[in-house]
Amino acid sequence: MRIYAKVYAKGKRGIIYKQGDTCIKEHNPSAAVNTIRKEADWLKRLNKHRIGPRFIKYEHGKLHRRFVKGTHIKDFLDEEEDKKKIISVLKQVLDQCRKMDELGINKKELTNPCKDIIITWDNKAVMIDFERCYKTSKPKNTTQFLQYIARNKELLESRGLSVDKKRLISLGRDYKTNPGNITFSKIIRFISNS
């Protein structure tokens, strides 16, 4: 099946086309391993927990999903000046990280998710690109995203947030040791009061 659309983006593992509100992803021939079917399976599963763009279908080796209009999280943090909107986005991402932790799924790219999280015009955080997901008894999504927040301390503080890096690292360690609701609630409270 040929795709009659322009290439929207090209990554190491996939080539993305855009057709209206649909994003079509196919295997990049230069990549050694084809991960498109794997990504389709993960996206379908995560959609049940309101994570990721809406899965449409997997057909002829291509993943069809809803196209997400918005800004990558790095650009969002660079440009957004509304503290409440930033806090809301950080909490949304952490909630999704927590859900994946509970499911025993590790996403892998969350220490540097510059292109893996899109913020829509109505301030919704949407994770994309799930081809590197894997099952594990010790997922690290939440702790990895906390590392991302810690690394962006200066930028976040320039936006009016108060980021106590030592406290953040301590909360991450507590969660790693005991990844339960109590430790996660402390992280959310910390972000809410930043």
Tens place of pLDDT per residue across the chain (194 aa): 455 567 888 877 889 999 999 999 999 888 888 889 999 999 999 999 999 999 999 999 999 999 999 999 999 999 999 999 999 999 999 999 999 999 999 998 888 898 899 999 999 999 999 999 999 999 999 999 999 999 999 999 999 999 999 999 999 999 999 999 999 999 999 999 98
CATH number at residue 112: 1.10.510
Looking at 19, 40, 66, the residue that finishes a domain is 66
How many structural domains compose the chain? 2
Do 58 and 101 belong to one domain? Answer: no
pLDDT score of 4: 54
pLDDT score of 29: 86
pLDDT score of 30: 85
Do 56 and 99 belong to one domain? Answer: no
Looking at 66, 97, 115, the residue that finishes a domain is 66
Q: For residue 56, with 0-12 CB atoms within 10 Å meaning exposed, 13-18 middle and 19 or more buried, which class applies?
A: middle
pLDDT score of 2: 52
Looking at 66, 91, 116, the residue that finishes a domain is 66
Do 41 and 77 belong to one domain? Answer: no
Residue 94 lies in a domain: yes
Q: Which domain holds residue 23?
A: 7-66
Do 102 and 44 belong to one domain? Answer: no
pLDDT score of 5: 63
Going by C-beta distance under 8 Å and a sequence separation of 6 or more, which residues neighbour residue 26? 3, 14, 15, 17, 36, 61, 62, 63
Distance CA 90, CA 82 (A): 13
Do 14 and 85 belong to one domain? Answer: no
Distance CA 27, CA 61 (A): 8
pLDDT score of 140: 95
Do 151 and 58 belong to one domain? Answer: no
Residue 2 lies in a domain: no
Entry pTM? 0.92
Do 33 and 85 belong to one domain? Answer: no
pLDDT score of 171: 96
